[in-house]
Structures are given as C-alpha cells and as structure tokens.
Amino acid sequence: MVDPVLASRLQFALTTIVHIIFPVMSMGLAPFLIYFTWKEIRTKQPVYEQLRRFWTRIFAVSFVVGTVTGLVLEFEFGTNFAAFSTTAGELFGGPLALEGMMAFMLEATFLGIFVFGRDRVSDRLYFLSSIAVGLGTWLSAVWILIANSWMQTPRGFEIVVENGQRIVKLTDPLAAYLNPRFPYMFIHMQNAAVESVALFMAGVAAYYVFRHHVWGYPIEHIEVWEKTLKIALVVLLITAPLQVIQGDAYARHVYETQPLKFAAMEAVWETDSYVPEYIVAFPTDVNDLLNPRTKDLFGIGIPGGASWLASGGNPQATIRGLESFSTKAPPVAIVFWAFRIMVALGFWFILLAVWGAYRWWRGELFEDDLLHKALMASSLLGFVAVEVGWIVTEVGRQPWVIQGVMKTSASVSPNLTGAEATFTLFGFVTGYILLLGLYTYVVGRIIRAGPPSKDELTQSDAAHVRESKVTSGD
C-alpha cells in the first residue's frame, strides 16, 4: 500500500507527463494547419491539400487522446487534491472554468467542422475554422499557464481562515492573473510546442526523403515530404534560437523569484559567489548515486558560469544555497539533470537548424544522409525537452504546491485512503501505458500510410481515409 500523499503525487505526475504530449502536438500543429489551409485555398496547389489532410489526421487523434487525459487531470484536483482545491479554488478554479468556456469549446466545436466539413462549408468558413481551432489550443495554454504561473509566483490575494481552513481570497485580479511568471512561461511553452512539432515533422519528412533520395526507393508524392522538410526547417530556424535566448531570461527570472528552485537547478548547497556552471556532476560516493539529495559532487564546470547566467553578466553574483532555506529542498538531482538535458537539447536543436539551413543553401538538403539520420533520431526529442522542462518547473518548486503559501503534502484530500489511491495509481499506470502504446501505434500507421494521392483529392476526406487504409495493407 502506497501512502495516499505519495500515490496522489505520483499519479498526478504521471497524468501530467502523459497529457502534455497531446496539447503540445495540438498547439504546435495548429499554426502549420492554418498555413496549409490558407495556401490550399489561395493557391489550389494539391500539395497543400495533401499536407493539410495528412497532418489533420494526426491532429484529430492527438486531440481525442488529449481530451481523455485532460479530463482526468481536471478532475484530479478534486479527487486527489481536495485540500488544495478548497484552499485555492477561488483563485485557481476560475482559470480552469474559463479555459473550458473560452478555449476548449472553441477548439472542440470548430474541430468538428475542420475535420469533417471541407466539402460542406465555404472556403471562408473552413479557413476560419482552422483559425478557431488554433486559437482554441493557444487560449487553453493561456488559462492553464495563468493558473500554473500563479502557483509559482502567487500575487494578488490574501489568506483568511474560514471554519478552521486557510482560504486564499482574491484581492487584485490583475496582479494574480497577470503575475510575473506568466509571460515567461507562455512564450517558453508555445515556442516549445511549435519547435517540437517542427522537429517531429522534419523527422518524418527526413525518413521519406532519405529513403527516396539516398536509398532510391520510389516514393509517391515525394514533393509533399520535400516541402514538409523545408517548412519544418524554416520554423526550426526561428524557434530554436528563440527558445534558448528566451529560456535564459526565464532562468534569470527564476533566480529572482524562486531562489530555491534556482539553487536546485544548479545544485548549489552553500550560499556563495562566483558559482561555477556545472556541465555535468556526479556524487563522489557511489552509494549516493540514487540519492536525489546527494551533496558531495564531482563536477566539470565553467568557473563563475552560474553566477554569470543568474545575474545576467556578473560572475561574482551571489547564489543562495539550498542549506539556507528553512524548508526541505526539492530532489536536487532530478531538477539538476532535467535542467541540463533541456538546455543541451536546446542547443542541439539550434545546431540541427543551422546544419539543415546550410545544406539547403548549398542545394544539398536532400543529399546529406547524416543530416537526415540526425533529424530522424531527433524527431521526438522536442517532446523530451518539454517533459524535462516541466520536471524542472514542477519538481523544482517542491515542497511547495503554491510557492511560499501551501505545501504539497498539505494539499492532498484528507479523507483519501492509501488503498483507494494505490488502486487508482496502478489503474493509471496500466491505462496510460496502453493509451500511449495505442497512440504511438495509430500515429505510426498514419505516417506509414502517408498523405492521400492527387487522384484521391477529388474524393471526400472520409473516402480518402478508407482508401488509405486499404492501401496501407489490412
């Protein structure tokens, strides 16, 4: 039997780790779908219709799985974190309700038109639907990140005691909802979503381009994949540097507002100046290898690097150490390594973008097999970067569920039993593994089936779906 607090935390962690994949897919694909739809209507070139139809199928599957997993997430605040919901509901519930009313409704209703309605509605309404769907996905992120960023840098409230319970009362809505963390988080998240999907597209396209140009496979509609690769590279060239530049500003903001998290990110135990930026660090004692709070580190670092980054240019800047906080620190090793993986991936994506751009400029984009292999291998790494990024954000703020206001351990439903929590935790592990497997399988099939051929474009979308299934070999 797992302790209800631990079981609830694990369950919530698992739910968010799995769920985030699907909104990232939707938010990242949305601008591409709007672009394809616009080009399809304006230019009447079949390649854009092929692109639109192909990526819409992946969008639709992601949306369904995202709905299923997201509903669980919304309800888990009540089922597992009732104490948090009662305490913070007045401030936290509003954004969730508004996400549903303002964003999710827009996305879900117009997705019906976008997926099924190409032959039923006018070009204008169809294009508007693509915008509505995209706007819906992005507005969802606005409200969810307003709620989350408030937990990181809570503002605009006071605490009162009602019936023996501490309740968060909203006093200044603008300060609360447009809290200092929100813009950093929103830009970082949205750019990450587009970057991740661009990498995914580039990886899928590289696979077909590689098989055709390097291995000489005959590939139907190769021009679709060449176009995909080019579009994905352009987007990557914009988003990858932006992500690192903006991420640097974000990290400085964390240093100023959440010093505990920053100390964990850099594994700084004692308050010090001229703190090195460790590239890697390991415990000197092998027995401590699995201890997330291990201290005696062997590290390779840049002298003064962490101080320099935190202060925006001063290698002598002081960083407050983990030992100076009265609360027990977060699991340092997890935060430290998650942060390093994210940053390393960020730089790798820039390198990929520059490499691809250089080959393109030289007219060798479709010949460099090493580039194609690198793109294929990196197709899911954007999602990995998003996951570890969220781990830095969420594990890094422990032990607080609301920074400085409420601890995670105090937020779990008081009447929840270990048996109930353990039962649903195991149910989740099983269910979510099955769900992820199913999603991977279905998306894999869609990719293998490829876009509709030009002959099929005159048929309805639905007929195309049937057709592509037949040709994909069942």
Partner 1 sequence: MTNVGALATKPLFGLPLAELWFALLFFIFGMFLFLDGFDFGVGVLFATRDDDHEKEQLLATVGPFWDGNEVWLVVFGGALFAAFPSVYANLFSRYYLLMFAILAALGLRGLAPEMYEEREDDHWRTLWGYSFIIGSTVTPFLLGLFVMNWLVGATGLITPVGVLGGVTVLVLTIVDGAAFLGLKTRGALRDEMRNYGTRAAVSYLGIAIITLGAIYATEPGLRSSFRSPTVVALVMLTATLTGIYVVALRRRRYYAAFAATATLVFGLVGLVATLLFPFVDRTAGLTVREAIISTLPLNLMSIMASVLLPIVLGYFVVLYSAFSGPVDTEETYG
Interactions with partner 1, residue window 383-422 (CB under 8 A): 413, 415-416, 420
DSSP 20: T
Q: Rule CB under 8 A: is residue 63 a binding residue for partner 1?
A: yes
* Choices 197-205, 275-283, 377-385, 434-442 (CB under 8 A): range interacting with partner 1: 434-442
* Of residues 296, 301, 241, the one with CA closest to residue 266: 301
* Choices 111-119, 210-218, 365-373, 394-402 (CB under 8 A): range interacting with partner 1: 111-119
* Choices 39-47, 265-273, 288-296, 423-431 (CB under 8 A): range interacting with partner 1: 423-431
Locate all alpha helices (DSSP H) within 179-221, ordered by sequence: 181-209
Candidates 3, 123, 172, 270; binder of partner 1 (CB under 8 A) is 172
**Would you call 3 helix, strand, or coil by DSSP?**
coil
* Of residues 464, 465, 459, 457, the one with CA closest to residue 44: 457
Query: Across-strand partners of 278?
Result: 301
Measured from the CB atom, the residue of 202 and 421 that comes closer to partner 1 is: 421
Interacting positions 84-103 with partner 1 (CB under 8 A)? 85-86, 88-94, 96-102
Query: Across-strand partners of 160?
Result: 167
Q: Rule CB under 8 A: is residue 442 a binding residue for partner 1?
A: yes
Query: Closest approach of Cβ 273 to partner 1, in Å?
Result: 43
CA 256, 260, 264 angle in degrees (round to 5)?
Answer: 115
Q: Please say whether the beta carbons of 159 and 166 come within 8 A.
A: yes
Q: Rule CB under 8 A: is residue 111 a binding residue for partner 1?
A: yes
Measured from the CB atom, the residue of 102 and 249 that comes closer to partner 1 is: 102
Measured from the CB atom, the residue of 40 and 226 that comes closer to partner 1 is: 40
Candidates 43, 45, 171, 284; binder of partner 1 (CB under 8 A) is 171
Query: Closest approach of Cβ 55 to partner 1, in Å?
Result: 14
CA torsion sign for 407, 139, 244, 375 is positive
Specify the residue for token string 């897919």.
Answer: 25
Q: What is the CA radius of gyration of the chain?
A: 24
Measured from the CB atom, the residue of 88 and 402 that comes closer to partner 1 is: 88
Query: Closest approach of Cβ 404 to partner 1, in Å?
Result: 21
Give CA 137 to chain center in angstroms: 13
> Encoding tokens for residue 225?
């994949």
Number of residues that bind partner 1 (CB under 8 A): 78
Q: Rule CB under 8 A: is residue 116 a binding residue for partner 1?
A: yes
The interface mask with partner 1, positions 119-148, x = CB under 8 A, is: -xx---x-----------------------
> Encoding tokens for residue 202?
């580039």
* Of residues 114, 140, 103, 108, the one with CA closest to residue 55: 114
Q: Rule CB under 8 A: is residue 71 a binding residue for partner 1?
A: yes
